[in-house]
Amino acid sequence: MTMTDADALDRSDPLAHYRARFALPDGVIYLDGNSLGALPRAAIERVSRVVTEEWGRDLITSWNRHDWIDLPRRVGEKIAPLIGAGPGTVIVADSTSINIFKLLAVALARRPDRRVIVTEANNFPTDVYMSGGIASLLGQGHTVRLAEAAVLPAAIRDDVAVVLLTEVNYRTGARLDMQALTAAAHEAGALVIWDLCHSAGALPVDLAATHADFAVGCGYKYLNGGPGAPAFAYVAPKHLKDLHQPLSGWLGHAAPFAFEAGYRPGQGVDALRVGTPPVLSLSALDAALDVFAQADLAAVKSKADALFDLFTAELRARCPGLELLTPLDPALRGTQVSLRHPEAYAVMQALIARGVIGDFRQPDIMRFGLTPFYLRFGDVFRAAEILGEIMASGAWDRPEFKQRAKVV
Ligand SMILES: Cc1ncc(COP(=O)(O)O)c(C=O)c1O
């Protein structure tokens, strides 16, 4: 492949027009949309309007005048079609960690005779930590059973109350079989919560077809909602009735402005609300989601797969010392490329110094997010060229590239 070939792929790319909808800095190749999505132009305009007009001019009247109060539901309705969820099943609130806590509480209460939470040993730490946290808070002898991905089916036995899994692994990009694992959990009489942080907006998800019970996911990665964007939570229609979770904040109450003495949960997914919604962040996420209005996520995944093929083929030729951790079979992965190198941190800092932004995960992994809305084949080709130069020259081997920052 040459740069001319990559440019030709960009000219015939049916998704190429999306790039203009993002504000991207000159001279940067952004390969970290799996961690923080790029800035959609619509979010700039929307946040500025919300700040100056809705907050600045209309002040508190905006809760009604601009319907701030229902933003968690409205934004949830926009996310629903991206994850195969029907109307009234998705709410945007809090962070993914907090939503995991709420849904674990709901699920455990629906399996009162069982005491085991199963999760993947290599799951994102918050999923494992929150599972342990709720188990000890309940004080009823709940335990967390960690299993490697390959042996999950064997770990899902008839003592399991809840299975909490992330579809696409944050470190390797490997993808679990949602359909099969959900069926295995149901077979064992357990409920399932799917963490879709690395799936939502990256690839087609069909929660209804997989019969998942619950799901969570974040707004700031592939959904491009901005740093600290609130997360979403999904509840299957069959679990919406009598939904009750323990973070009984006033905005999850059936009648928040009645200021009643006792707590009564709101109807359906509204029961997952807790406190005052972050209006600025929600507005940014709301505007960001317009990018997806007519988007075909199957086409998005297939461009990500083509970007993957280009990047990994170039790296095989240019960087023989890098080990590819992500599965080669497109069905078995999400849309990131993970590479292993003993000095991965320093190599990534050297790349960032050359304008190619990816990230690092302990202990030796470089991650590159392939986000088809704003990445061109030419960008990915150039990123591989620069990585090849850095590896060949040893340019990463400098003290300043080995200084660990607080956020890595
Ligand atoms: C799979 C997964 N789950 C959960 C989280 C954490 O989400 P939050 O910070 O919104 O609680 C992340 C963050 O990267 C993640 O990758």
| Mean pLDDT in residue range 201-229 | 98
Establish whether residue 96 lines the binding site of ligand 1, counting it when its CB lies within 6 angstroms of any ligand atom: yes
Whether 126 is in the pocket of ligand 1, judged by its Cβ within 6 Å, is: yes
231 lines ligand 1 (CB under 6 A): yes
For residue 244, how far is its CA from the centre of ligand 1 (angstroms)?
23
Q: Give the residue whose CA is nearest to atom 14 of ligand 1.
A: 35
CA of 300 to the centre of ligand 1 (A): 22
Structure token pair of residue 28: 């940067």
- Closest C-alpha to ligand 1, atom 7: 96
- pLDDT the model gives residue 65: 98
119-145 mean pLDDT: 98
CA 84, 90, 91: angle at the middle one, nearest 5? Answer: 155
Averaged pLDDT score across all residues of the chain: 98
Triad 166, 172, 173: Cα angle to 5°? 60
Instruction: Cite the beta strand spans of 272-324 per DSSP E.
Output: 323-324
Choose among 73, 81, 156: nearest CA to 114: 156
pLDDT category, 235, cuts 50, 70, 90?
very high
pLDDT at 325: 98
Say if residue 298 is exposed, middle or buried (CB neighbours under 10 Å; 0-12, 13-18, 19+): exposed
Task: Summarize pLDDT for 152-168 with one digit per residue, the tens.
Answer: 999 999 999 999 999 99
Residue bearing the CA closest to ligand 1, atom 5: 96
Which whole number is the average pLDDT over 183-206? Answer: 98
The DSSP bridge partners found for residue 368 are: 337
pLDDT in tens, 343-386: 999 999 999 999 999 999 999 999 999 999 999 999 999 999 99
Specify the pLDDT at position 284: 98
Would residue 222 show up in a list of annotated catalytic residues for this protein?
no
H/E stretch holding 125 reads: helix 125-138
Catalytic annotation present for 303: no
Mark whether 195 is an active-site residue: yes
Distance from Cα 399 to the centre of ligand 1, integer Å: 31
Q: How far is CA 338 from the centre of its chain?
A: 16
| Nearest by Cα to 231 from 245, 246, 220, 242 | 220
What does the pLDDT read at residue 347?
98
User: Could you report the per-residue pLDDT of 55-108, keeping only the tens digit for each?
Assistant: 999 999 999 999 999 999 999 999 999 999 999 999 999 999 999 999 999 999
Residue 124: active-site member: yes
Residues 3-20 have pLDDT tens digits of: 999 999 999 999 999 999
The finding on whether 222 has its CB within 6 A of some atom of ligand 1 is: no
In the reported structure, the alpha carbon of residue 198 is separated from the centroid of ligand 1 by a whole-number distance in angstroms of 9
Catalytic-residue membership of 221:
yes
Please tell me the predicted confidence (pLDDT) of residue 231: 98
Exactly one of 73, 175, 221, 273 is catalytic; name it: 221
Q: What's residue 132's pLDDT? A: 98
What pLDDT does residue 169 have? 98
Q: Which two tokens stand for residue 212?
A: 């998942």
